[in-house]
Structure 1
Amino acid sequence: MSSPQPSTTRRLVILRHAEAAPAAASDHDRDLTPDGRAAAAAAGRWLAAEQHVPSAALVSDALRTRRTWEELAAAAGWLDVPVEHAAPLYSAGPETALDMVRGTDVDVATLVLVGHNPTVASLAHLLHDGQGNERAAVRMTQGYPPAAVTVLACPVPWAEVAWGGCRLVDFHLAGA
């Protein structure tokens, strides 16, 4: 009798940064508002409660995305999760973001990607296979505000993730 093969399903958590201050010395340097910090922490608590625990995080190097990750990770108790602050995510389109996901180490079971709109909303919509959580799919089509979180199950190794290839697990509005 053969033993069952380990599951290749990966979890991809896509998060738009929380509410940012309207101005700073540069767009790249915009920090979170107090409400943004609270929403990022709420997203972390929700992800932890739902047991979507990351093995790694891919975060734009902009201040607002780094701060979103810091607040989220602190609230969830994920202070030891390896983080890559990726400059290309700051201005990436969905294709570049997907390429970055595809470059994720094979040992990462759950990846959190923290980025900017319209990229993160497009990435979530384009990866969604039209199946899974119907209620979440409806909510996701109604907008992707700051601190919105999409959780996708991807049944293939990261290098093989493709458009329409992941199942929608949940969509959460942490800032609502």
Structure 2
Amino acid sequence: MSSRRLVVMRHAKAEQDGPTDFERPLASRGRRDAEAAGAWLASQGVAPDHALVSAALRTQQTWESVASGAGWTLSPDFDRGLYAAGPESALDIVRLVPDSASVLVVIGHNPTMAVLAQLLDDGSADAEVGASMAGDFPTSAVAVFSYDGAWADLGEGTARLEAFHVGRA
């Protein structure tokens, strides 16, 4: 089986207030940062054929800006479950991705995305890359993994961290 790529991303900077937490929009800085993250992903050759995005407004808007910055036209799956998911539940959602998908982008919330990225990491990354992700996982943080296997078999310590980047405009 050919190697797959998995991008784990935390949504961009959101406004402090919204009608509800679920409906908090991105701040204008968040839109710019997410677009910068998208441009960086495109520069890394990331071209997703599947995307899982929390159904919250700020994650939907993060996807729009990332896709705009990267030049992607893919329609994502907006998943309500990702909004409240803990790391194990998020991993379960990823395991349901069709095997036809080879490059997957997941955009969600912290602490889940940070913990998910740490959980997947097999520890074989370049030391500098590994150290960069070991710190904070701020808004617009992006972890790019390679993974060999079926999505259904994705588990703890099964993916190699290839790159870590924080989108900033």
What's the counterpart of residue 81 of structure 2?
Answer: 88
Alpha-carbon contact 1:18-1:175 (below 8 Å) kept? no
Consecutive aligned runs of 4 or more in structure 1 exceeding 3 Å deviation: none
Give the structure 1 partner of residue 131 of structure 2: 138
Identity %: 44
- Structure 2 residue runs of 5 or longer lacking an equivalent are none
Larger Rg: 1
Q: Structure 1 stretches of 5 or more lacking a match?
A: 1-6
Matched residue, 2:46:
52
Deviations 1:96-115 (A, max 9, x none): 11011110010101000000
1:55-74 alignment to 2 at 5 Å?
55-74=49-68
How many residues of Structure 1 are paired with residues of Structure 2 in the alignment?
Answer: 169
CA distance in 1, matches of 2:116, 2:158: 12
Q: 1:41 aligned to 2:52?
A: no
Shift of 1:8: 2.9
What's the CA shift string for 1:55-81, capped at 9, x where partnerless?
1110000000000000010111112x1
AA aligned to 1:144 is F
> What is the aligned partner in structure 1 of residue 165 from structure 2?
172
In 2, Cα distance between equivalents of 1:103 and 1:133: 29
Alpha-carbon distance between aligned partners in 1 of 2:66 and 2:75, rounded to the nearest angstrom: 14
Distance 2:126 2:105 in 1: 19
Amino acid at match of 1:40: A
Identify if the C-alpha distance between structure 1 residues 51 and 170 changes in structure 2 by more than 3 Å, giving closer, same or farther. same
Please state whether the residue corresponding to 1:130 is helix, strand or coil: coil
> Secondary structure of the residue that 1:112 maps to in structure 2?
strand
Provide the alpha-carbon RMSD of the alignment: 1.0
Q: In the TM superposition, what whole-angstrom CA distance separates every residue of 1:15-66 from its partner, at most 9, and x where no partner exists?
A: 0000000001100010111110000000100000110110111000000000
Equivalent residue number for residue 4 of structure 1? none
Tell me the residue number matched to 1:113: 106
Task: Give the TM-score normalised by structure 1.
Answer: 0.94
Secondary structure at 2:117 match in 1: helix
> What aligned pairs does 1:17-28 form with structure 2 within 5 A after superposition?
17-28=11-22
Q: CA deviation at 1:133?
A: 2.4
